[in-house]
Amino acid sequence: MTTVALSSFDLALPTDEHRMLRDQVRAFTSEKVEPQALEHDQKELFNRALFNEAGKMGLLGITVSDDYGGAGMDATAAVIVHEELSSSDPGFALAYLAHSMLCTNNLFHNASAEQRQRWLPKLVSGEHVGAMGMSEPAVGTDVLGLRTTATKDGDSYVVNGRKMWITNGAVDDVKTPCDVMLFYARTGGTDARPELSSFVVERGMPGFSVGQKIHAKTGMRASCTAEMVLDECRIPLANRIGEEGGSIKHMMRNLALERLTLAAMSLGIARRSIEVMVKYAADRKAFGKPLNEFGQIQKYIADSYAEFMACRAWVYDTARQMPLDAYGNRLDSDGVKLVASTMGKNVADRAMQVLGGYGYVGEYVVERLWRDAKLLEIGGGTIEAHQKNMTRDLTKGPFPWT
């Protein structure tokens, strides 16, 4: 019997290019992100200078082709960046995600060549900050229930509505709006079957403003969250993305990547939490021996590692199979966020428990990670929405393993 040796394959680092990216972002995170993380969390400030440095490194256009200054990489690369940044500062990572995935990647795959050339170079470089407006004051998970309207009037649309919980909507404490916001609005249809269209509104357009910057968030405080107002805002026809009424596919395709990268953020939170509690449990003594010799502590550490590694495999395997220019893998993109978001929260919670009083203060990082982790069960789709979607997709069949 002849045996064939199989070459090893690393899901998380499938190529030398991915490994180089991981090393580059890990060094950037250690040298630049970590020193500022606690301060910007406490002050609830978005670090624009750090954001610009990410632009100079080519990270803001990680999935955008080099025609527009991007890195032209894949979903695995996007996961790598989000995992690394979130191991230090999930708040900054969320601002990065809103800009690079929700706005920039969306425009790259759905906008015309002229529109790409108009907006992408400045978004990729970091000169402009981008956001995406989907949720509204009365509409979250039920995205088809959004009430913002865009009424065609000659060569423009008149838009009225409000967008809520918009990451990067404001870029500072004096309510300066982002440079570019991609958003969705009703352009026709009925309440039961709305027609949604995609538009870009730019800073300086009359009627576009920040209603309020959201303060006192539980976590993710290093990203700005705002309510955005569109009041009789006249948007040129040239700022509509794609055909009128055709944005459902834009939305669904980008949601898959958003959920994948949010799951990657949970990986970063969990990984850092494990590192902290392993080191602390080895160094701290109680009753004459290290904490890691107690069975309760061993369970926290071992369970956390096992759950993290299981989620990590699924996240990177889903990234490996995710095309960025097509839609159709909702089952796994919802699935990885469903499992990883709760895993990250639980691991951070165990780390706080292992550290005791020290885990409850900002100096040891896990308190901040614990606060940040909760959003990932809510933002980008609630865990309940993922359960609904996954059950629906499994019921339709076929099973993915057949």
Domain with 237 in it: what CATH number?
A: 2.40.110.10
Question: 258 an active-site residue?
Answer: yes
Same-domain check for residues 102 and 181? no
CA distance 263 to 339: 8
Predicted pLDDT at 190: 87
Same-domain check for residues 374 and 268? yes
Q: Residue 9: pLDDT band by 50, 70, 90 thresholds?
A: confident
| pLDDT above 60 (res 122) | yes
pLDDT more than 90, % of the chain: 89
| pLDDT above 60 (res 7) | no
Under a CB-based contact definition with an 8 Å cutoff, are residues 84 and 92 in contact? no
Q: What is the mean pLDDT of the chain?
A: 95
Q: Residue 377: pLDDT band by 50, 70, 90 thresholds?
A: very high
Residue with tokens 């596919």: 249
Same-domain check for residues 167 and 86? no
| pLDDT above 70 (res 15) | yes
Same-domain check for residues 391 and 276? yes
Predicted pLDDT at 1: 54
The answer, yes or no, to whether the previous bond of 398 is cis (omega within 30 of 0) is yes
| pLDDT above 90 (res 205) | yes
Q: For residue 301, which phi and psi values (nearest 5 degrees)?
A: -70, -50
Q: Residue 191: pLDDT band by 50, 70, 90 thresholds?
A: confident
| pLDDT above 80 (res 2) | no
Same-domain check for residues 259 and 391? yes
Q: Residue 235: pLDDT band by 50, 70, 90 thresholds?
A: very high
**Mean pLDDT, residues 67-75:** 96
Same-domain check for residues 125 and 135? no
Predicted pLDDT at 249: 84
Q: Which domain holds residue 260?
A: 248-396
| pLDDT above 70 (res 4) | no
71: CATH? 1.10.540.10
Predicted pLDDT at 250: 84
Same-domain check for residues 151 and 239? yes
CA distance 187 to 157: 9
Residue at which a domain ends, from 129, 148, 172: 129
Please count the structural domains in the chain.
Answer: 3
Q: Residue 256: pLDDT band by 50, 70, 90 thresholds?
A: very high
| pLDDT above 60 (res 5) | no
Catalytic one among 44, 84, 136, 258? 258
Q: CB under 8 Å to 224, separation ≥6 — which residues?
A: 46, 95, 167, 168, 169, 170, 171, 172, 213
Q: CB under 8 Å to 2, separation ≥6 — which residues?
A: none
